Amino acid sequence: MSDNKSLKAELRTEDFGSAGARRLLRAKRIPAVIYGKNAPVHIILDSREFTNKMRHFSETALLKITVGKKQYECLMKDYQENLMIGEIKHVDFFEVTRGQALRTLVSLILKGNPVGTKEGGVLDQVMHEVEIECLPKDLPAALEADVSAMKINQSLHLKDVVIPAGVKVLDDLSKTVASVKGVKAETAAVVEEVVEAVAPAEPTKDAKAKK
C-alpha cells in the first residue's frame, strides 16, 4: 500500500468531549474514530500528516491506519472542517474486513469525446455515482464509461458500462449515465421553460365574474 494511503495514530483513552477536542486541535492533532463491526476505536491523528495526505484519499481509497502495534484497513467516510481557517476538526473512518463484502458509492467518470459533440451535440452526464458491492481487494477507485461512440440523441445506460471482475452493481442497470443532446433540442427546451415561467396565470372564476 502506498505511503500516501497510510496514517499513524495514537489511541485516545481520555480527555473526551468538546474541551478535549479543542485542546487536541490547539496541539496540532485531530480527534478521530474508527467504526466497524466491533466497538468504536477513538484515535488521535497528526494534523500535518493528515492534511498533507488527505488529497490522496477518496471514499473508495483503502487506508492503513497504524495504532501502536495494531493496523486497521479503513475507508474515510466523513470529516468535519472549519472552512474559515482551513482546519480539520474530526475524522470518521470505517474499518473493512478482508474477505467480507462491503457496499459503497464510487464515482462514474466519462472517458472519450463523443462523435455527437463533433456534430454540434452537447454531452450531458446524468449519473455521477453508483452503489456497488465487492470485497475490499476488488474495490475500484471509480468506474469509467466510454462515451466515444455516442451520437446525437443517443444515451449510455448503466448496463453499458464495463464493470470490473468481482464488482456487483446495486443500482438499476437501466438508468441513464449520459446522453448527447442536439443543441436545437436543448435550446427549445430552455425557451419553453422560460415561456412557461413568464406566461400570465389563467384567470380564476372570481376574476372572470368581476369582468
Query: Per-residue pLDDT tens for 105-129?
Result: 899 999 999 999 988 899 999 999 9
The structural domain count of the chain equals 2
Q: Is 69 part of a structural domain of the chain?
A: yes
CATH code, 80 = 2.40.240.10
Domain range for residue 10?
3-95
Which of 18-22, 36-40, 85-89 is predicted with the least confidence, judged by mean pLDDT? 36-40
Coil/strand/helix, residue 48: helix
Same-domain pairing of 68 and 149: no
CA angle 137, 46, 75 (to 5 degrees): 20
Q: Is 43 part of a structural domain of the chain?
A: yes
Residue 94 pLDDT > 50, yes or no? yes
Same-domain pairing of 84 and 151: no
**Cell numbers found for residue 33:** 474514530
Look over the chain and give the mean of its residue pLDDT values, rounded to a whole number. Answer: 85
Q: What is the pLDDT of residue 202?
A: 57
Q: Is 70 part of a structural domain of the chain?
A: yes
Same-domain pairing of 112 and 84: no
Residue 78 pLDDT > 70, yes or no? yes
Confidence of residue 196 (pLDDT cuts 50, 70, 90): low
Same-domain pairing of 35 and 51: yes
Q: Which of 95, 118, 138 is the last residue of a domain?
A: 95
Q: Is 204 part of a structural domain of the chain?
A: no
Confidence of residue 54 (pLDDT cuts 50, 70, 90): confident
Q: How many CB atoms lie within 10 A of CB 13?
A: 8
Same-domain pairing of 116 and 145: yes
Same-domain pairing of 112 and 147: yes
Question: Which residues, listed in sequence order, are joined to residue 76 by a DSSP beta bridge?
Answer: 93
Question: Which residues, listed in sequence order, are joined to residue 91 by a DSSP beta bridge?
Answer: 32, 79
With beta carbons less than 8 A apart as the criterion, state whether 187 and 178 touch.
no
Q: What is the pLDDT of residue 55?
A: 83
CATH code, 110 = 2.170.120.20
Name the DSSP letter for residue 57: -
Same-domain pairing of 59 and 123: no
Question: Which residues, listed in sequence order, are joined to residue 199 by a DSSP beta bridge?
Answer: none
